[in-house]
Chains A and B, each alone.
Chain A
């Protein structure tokens, strides 16, 4: 234990956007101090009565404290958990409900009451400042709240490009615009009210021009900086999306492998099942990691691979498929290639079931003129002339089927050296069956 004391990380306070009424400051402070939220809120209200000190403190903390990072972004969250959450396999934590405005209204009413009370009690002398300050405070609060909203939206949104407007408005929607304009209106209103009450309209023109010049100047100075900041933000987001994708990939792999390992432990006393499980998992991982060939799902190679997978699962014998060239199954007339794959399937099943070989090799070669499939095993073998006429497997499903569709089947087998089934199907020339290679 004592070894680890030195490396304890510094605990930092954050604002909690999950439990907030206004900016989540009270909730964040309460969590940091380990006290009930209600006490902290009460503390702020009490402090607010002392010359608005609580309000200032609240505002300062709102500015300074960072928003509690979403656990999706939390670097310490386990890869699998984060990835599962992103891909919707976990229930995310409660997100703040914006329909829940009741407490906010209550809080505003209480605040207003306290302010009016203060005015009655002793701040009457400053009455020209009272309403403008109240309005401006509300406006600033609304604007800051929108900034939080935009930040949250930037976290959750995973589209790659981020415009400056989007950075300001977040996910957008009417609520964002309402907040933005309400905030601006409140602040402008506060300025207007101030001038109206003080009766110094004459100064208004000059002040407006000065403010306008100030804003334009600020824009010129800060504009490029804001633009660069947005670009940085985009780059950073892109990097994060990439790392999330990597994490998802890793999680998928670990997920499936974990599943299989558990099952293997359960069936440890059954070597055949264990081998089948391991082989199925290997196939899955292999296609995940190295396969780019599933782009053509209706191709001969894909059909043969699917057949091999099925037979492996059903009979526990590995089937290795090698293909040279490839054709689409629909590229030859009258479902010839379908017949070919079905015949090949029968041959693979026979080899896996009856030969006793520990492996079956399938080789398919597609050229412009014809498609050939070889199914070979090094098992027991048999004498073709001795196949009883009622054994439908070889005769019906392989030889006759190939002949019916205009192809041929040739079976070579000898006791002890295994069997090779050779299937040949002509693909009509000149019908755009495609080029070889390429």
Chain B
């Protein structure tokens, strides 16, 4: 298996070198960038398999990088990596087009695994992201025109999300539900698509004014 080509985008040089050290030889870091403009240039030049993208970035934030890169290279895959686990940031990155969201506290092995998964075209859901998804698609939000396909999670998808939120790895989810890992990945990708495309009203805004029920 050839090593994955990765670009690291983060405004803290110290963090970039830390990630690089942690990834070690497992991936090939082909570029780095500290802000939106440089990130767009570097990514379009090097065409990496995966871009590790900080959410808070000078020049418009991570979402802006995704938007501008996807105009010219829609096949580039982004994995959002941030210290923030605020709902706005998490949901916002996914809706901008990132294929996963992990926080910077993730261990090196987990990060390498996540990069591999995103490179394969699958989605990476942390327990927290799964929790946000379950909250966002909870039953009682009224939507004017419910697109059955996009605005609801299937029972199976909900089960998968709950297990991920409980801290299960994909293969543990597969074992628990007696399905293959491939099927778990299909479910997660489908949830990601719904999260990105759902017309469920302003998921991002929901995320910022969640209240006690």
Q: B130: CB under 8 A from chain A?
A: yes
Near A by CB (< 8 A), chain B positions 131-150 give: 131, 134-135, 138-141
Q: Are A289 and B140 in contact (CB under 8 A)?
A: no
Report Cα–Cα, A327/B211, bound state, in Å: 10
A320-B127 contact, Cβ under 8 Å, with A286-B83, A435-B140, A436-B213: yes
Given A436-B140, A437-B141, CB of A420 within 8 Å of CB of B166: yes
A290 within 8 A of B: yes
Partner of A438, one of B86, B130, B134, B140: B140
- Residue of B at shortest CB range from A378? B167
How many chain A residues have a CB neighbour from B under 8 Å?
A: 33
Contact check, B213 vs A435: say whether CB atoms are below 8 A apart. Answer: yes
- Given A363-B165, A363-B167, the answer on whether A322 and B127 have CB atoms closer than 8 Å is yes
- Chain B residues lying within 8 Å of A207, measured Cβ to Cβ, are none
Chain A's closest residue to B128 (CB) is A322
- The docked-state distance in angstroms from the alpha carbon of A420 to that of B86 is 27
Please pick, from A282, A299, A366, A437, the residue contacting B140 in the complex, using a CB distance under 8 A.
A437
What distance in Å separates the Cβ of A332 from its nearest Cβ neighbour in chain B? 13
Q: Is A365 an interface residue when CB atoms closer than 8 A count as contact?
A: yes
B167 and A323: CB pair below 8 A? Answer: no
CA distance A361 to B130 in the complex (A): 13
Asked if A374 is an interface residue, CB under 8 A from chain B, the answer is yes
Which secondary structure characterizes the binding site on chain A?
mixed
A175 within 8 A of B: no
Please state if B86 and A290 are interface contacts (CB–CB under 8 Å). yes
B165 touches A325 (CB 8 A): no
Residue of B nearest to A326 (CB): B212
In the bound complex, how far is the Cα of B212 from the Cα of A167, in angstroms?
45
B139, B162, B210: the one contacting A365 at CB < 8 Å is B162
Which B residues lie within 8 Å of A374 (CB)? 166-167
Q: Is B85 an interface residue, CB under 8 A from the partner?
A: yes
Q: For window 78-127 of chain B, which residues contact chain A by CB distance below 8 Å?
A: 83-86, 89, 105, 127
Q: State the CA gap A320–B85 with chains docked (Å).
A: 12
Given contact pairs A286-B83, A438-B140, A325 touches B135 in the complex (Cβ within 8 A): yes
Bound form: Cα–Cα A438–B105 in Å = 30
Find chain A residues with CB under 8 A from B168 CB.
Answer: 376
Kindly identify which residue among B89, B105, B167, B212 contacts A299, using a CB–CB cutoff of 8 Å: B212
- A434 at the B interface (CB under 8 A): yes
Residue of A at shortest CB range from B135? Answer: A324
Tell me the smallest distance from the CB of A102 to a CB of chain B, in Å.
Answer: 58
B166-179 CB mask vs A (1 if < 8 Å, else 0) is 11100000000000
User: B162: which A residues are within 8 A, CB to CB?
Assistant: 363, 365
User: Roughly how many angstroms separate A295 CA and B138 CA in the complex, as a whole number?
Assistant: 21
Partner of B131, one of A363, A435, A437: A363
Bound-state Cα–Cα, A438 to B200, Å: 12
Q: Are B167 and A361 in contact (CB under 8 A)?
A: yes
Chain A positions within 8 Å of B141 at CB level = 437-438
Q: Which 8 A-B pairs have the closest CB atoms?
A: A361-B167, A437-B138, A322-B131, A290-B86, A434-B213, A363-B166, A296-B212, A324-B134
- 16 residue pairs from A and B, CB less than 8 Å apart: A289-B84, A290-B84, A290-B85, A296-B211, A299-B212, A320-B167, A325-B135, A326-B212, A359-B167, A363-B167, A378-B167, A437-B135, A438-B138, A438-B140, A438-B141, A438-B213
14 extra interchain contacts, Cβ-Cβ under 8 A, other than A328-B212, A363-B162? A290-B85, A291-B86, A296-B212, A320-B167, A322-B130, A322-B165, A326-B212, A365-B134, A365-B162, A376-B167, A376-B168, A378-B167, A434-B213, A438-B138
